[in-house]
Amino acid sequence: MTYARTLARVETYFDQTAARTWERLTSDAPVSRIRETVRRGRDEMRTQLLSRLPDDLHGVRVLDAGCGTGQLCCDLAERGAEVVGIDISPQLIAIAEARLPAHLAPRVRLQSGDMLATRLGRFDFTIAMDSLIYYTRPDLAAALHALQDRTENATVFTVAPRTPLLMVMWRAGKLFPRSDRSPVMVPHAPAPLARALTQRGMPGTLSPLKRVTSGFYISQALELRA
């Protein structure tokens, strides 16, 4: 499974299957108990990723890579950042545009497409929350290299942690690929990922941050700093 093929699967999933689900999940609308645990976990993770950036972001350019419905974009713009939010799903971008407050609109540029596109330019910081979780180690290392090459300071991102429970779920998903229309998360551990980045000749330090576990939401934050 190459980066391009995985990206196409992610686009199909969010545009044809999950857009309405994510619209509710990222709002204040009532959701099931299971999805409520995911909502709480994502809120905690979003707060953690934001904590790795300065409180005052005036004059700072930030890429929200895989911005979804735009929650992080708004948080960053409230701090004064110039934000580029990009997502492979046009439907999610449409939701983000509809939700963007008028007073933040001048500081936020939303668009659909590949987060690795060089046309997006250079940034001071990059955040990729739950948008790199579907990629194999070689593809993930290549994507991080491409993002950090255009980032002056840190790329803060999440992966599915390589825990025994998630490995069982991952192997089960590989046995029954046709029964699951969603892209399969690929678990990663920090040390092998750091080695893969080193093998690519990429300078910098990969540091594990806090792992968030909230019911059905399990995610590991990491920071790649030049």
Q: How far apart are CA 186 and CA 182, in angstroms?
A: 12
Q: Residue 125's domain is classified under what CATH number?
A: 3.40.50.150
Would you state the structure tokens that stand for residue 124, as one six-digit string?
A: 């001071």
Domain that holds residue 88: 3-225
Q: How far apart are CA 48 and CA 148, in angstroms?
A: 20
Averaged pLDDT in 10-residue chunks for the chain of 226 residues: 89 90 94 94 98 98 98 98 98 98 98 98 98 96 97 97 62 46 84 95 92 93 94
Q: What is the pLDDT of residue 191?
A: 95
The partner residues of 207 in beta bridges, in order of sequence, read: 223
Q: How far apart are CA 29 and CA 222, in angstroms?
A: 30
Q: What is the pLDDT of residue 180?
A: 46
Give per-residue pLDDT as tens, 59-77.
999 999 999 999 999 999 9
Nearest by Cα to 158 from 174, 140, 139 = 140
Count of the separate structural domains present in the chain: 1
Q: What is the pLDDT of residue 182?
A: 67
Contact 10, 139 (CB under 8 A): no
